[in-house]
Amino acid sequence: MTSSGEPRKKSGTIKVDYMARVEGEGALFIKLKNDQVQDVKLKIFEPPRLFESLLRGRHFTEAPDITARICGICPVAYQMGSVHAIERALGITIHPMVRQLRRLLYAGEWIESHVLHIYMLHAPDFLGYRDFVELAKDHPEEATQALRLKKLGNRIMSLLGGREIHPVSVAVGGFYKTPERAHLETLTEDLKWALDVAVAKAEFLASFEYPDFEQTYEFVALSHPNEYPLNEGRLVSNKGLNIDASQYDDYFVEQHVKHSNALHSVIRGRGSYQTGPLARLNLNFSKLPSVARQVAEHCGVRVPCLNPFKSILARAVEVVFALDEAQRIIQTYEPPPAPRVAYDVHAATGYSITEAPRGIQFNRYSFDENGLIQAVKIVPPTSQNQKRIEDDLRNFIPSIVSQPVEEITRRCEQAVRNYDPCISCATHFLKLTLERE
């Protein structure tokens, strides 16, 4: 290890034993030889969660509440993934207003998760602060507004989901309870304030210094004919992928790697890919509302944007989208005739892909004629991005290798956070080790 005052060694290891400002427990190991990267490993050692096994033998109606427990930041993603797969298995068509309410619930999750990551976790990297507390001291206005924006996202989740973390209202066929229009209208004033702030504060984020680093990515995201994707769509990429959720296993494979409790997802025959805000923005830019497109253009984000550090701007654009979408849904909402539709149970298998804040999340549920779950597969976004994060680091490190080890470490952590990894969700995550030999 070298410190800034010592002569720099061209070989060695950098270790970050526990990486802060990421969700869950993980570590980073980098091995250098004569300033050449020999090895990069993103180690996820948070213990396996075993949710897929835990669901076996349970009735499918329990799945939305159990899967909401996978994550405290993005519970809606897992909840939506389960109900959509189960409903598809049973051939259930939900009421259009229920569909809108689910989009609103998901928009709430995007707002709280994205604002958390933009301001509390990632912005300190760009501004050279140790954490959000230091940022708050120098930028109290931005910090106060960020706290209020995040709270609004949580309020939306609480209003629709019964509580802001691990919501309990989503049911197969719809919701256990749907709100009156007046309940949703209590959000109107705050949404108006929030949209104005989200648009104005994008400039603050755009003023950050961005490393000059671009990669050739395969971006993977959902695509819907006439809306920015949240709950449904075909899975597409900039390299010709265009599949239904049921074909996911034919095109993607999860590989076990020795250094990680999270499986690495790759596209068969092609390798790593990127999912998340930058992928969605690049593949669905025209589906954004004009206010979000204007913010992107004002921030200098032009698609295709190939700089992963600009994912923070993609998140900021998506916050604008989510707030605008929430306003639109509330303005047009009429309570559905019933909170959920009736259905018959039969043995079936169903598939779904939804867009969690940090990327696509795949689900396959099989259950028997009594509705008891026989098999489940859940592929979270972080395990899909994990190999791509390692590839980014391998290509990014040469540009910073002449710097002191503290700076290499700081920059590598920033690069990992481009993907807002949610390690708790992915286990089945950071500590940095830099080894020079």
Partner 1 sequence: MRIIGCGNADRGDDAAGILVARRLRELGLDSIEHAGDGFALLELWHGSENVVLVDAVLSGAAPGTVSVWDAESEPLRVQDCGCSTHGFGPAEAIEIGRALGRLPRRIRVYGIEAAQFEPGSTASPEVLKAVDRIVGELARSANTFAAR
Which span (7-15, 49-57, 131-139, 199-207) binds partner 1, by CB under 8 A?
Answer: 131-139
Stretch that binds partner 1, among 134-142, 227-235, 306-314, 323-331 (CB under 8 A): 134-142
Near partner 1 by CB under 8 A, which window of 59-67, 96-104, 145-153, 234-242? 145-153
Total binding residues toward partner 1, as defined by CB under 8 A: 29
What is the smallest separation between the CB atom of 95 and partner 1, expressed in angstroms? 33
Identified binder of partner 1 from the candidate list 111, 376, 423, 434, rule CB under 8 A = 423
The token pair that represents 101 in the structure block: 């309410």
Toward partner 1, which CB reaches closer, 27 or 205?
27
Rg of the chain over all Cα atoms, to the nearest angstrom: 21
Using CB under 8 A, which residues numbered 2 to 31 contact partner 1?
Answer: 17-25
Among 28, 32, 55, 120, binds partner 1 (CB under 8 A): 120
Considering the rule CB under 8 A, would residue 176 count as an interface residue with partner 1?
A: no
Is residue 277 a contact residue for partner 1 (CB under 8 A)?
A: no
Binding mask 33-72 for partner 1 (x = CB under 8 A): ---------------------------------------x
Q: Pick between residue 29 and residue 273 the one whose CB is nearest to partner 1.
A: 29
Q: Distance between CA atoms of 345 and 173, rounded to whole angstroms?
A: 12
CB of 313 to partner 1, least distance (A): 20
Which one of residues 28, 66, 94, 143 is an interface residue with partner 1 (CB under 8 A)?
A: 143
Among 352, 367, 297, 326, which residue's Cα sits nearest to residue 194? Answer: 326
Q: Which of 92, 116, 191, 401 is the binder for partner 1 (CB under 8 A)?
A: 116
Q: Which is nearer to partner 1, 76 or 373 (CB)?
A: 76
Select from 140-148, 173-181, 222-230, 234-242 the region that touches partner 1 (CB under 8 A): 140-148
CA 90 to each of CA 101, 117, 193, 232, 387: distance values in angstroms, whole numbers, following the listed order: 21, 36, 41, 17, 35
Is the peptide bond between 336 and the residue preceding it cis, with omega within 30 degrees of 0?
no
Distances 436 to 3, 12, 416 between C-alpha atoms, Å: 14, 2, 21
CB of 365 to partner 1, least distance (A): 27
Could you give the CA distance from residue 52 to residue 214 in angstroms, rounded to a whole number? Answer: 36
Output the smallest distance, CB 429 to partner 1, in A. Answer: 9
**Residues in region 68-107 near partner 1 by CB under 8 A:** 72-73
Shortest reach from residue 200's CB to partner 1, in Å: 19
- 404 in Cβ contact with 293 (< 8 Å): no
Nearest to 118 by CA among 150, 155, 144: 150
Quote the least distance from Cβ 230 to partner 1, whole Å.
21
Candidates 57, 96, 128, 140: give the one binding partner 1 (CB under 8 A).
140
Instruction: Using CB under 8 A, pick the residue from 144, 188, 242, 370 that binds partner 1.
Output: 144
List of residues contacting partner 1 (CB under 8 A): 17-25, 72-73, 116, 120-121, 130-133, 136-137, 140, 143-144, 147, 150-151, 422-424
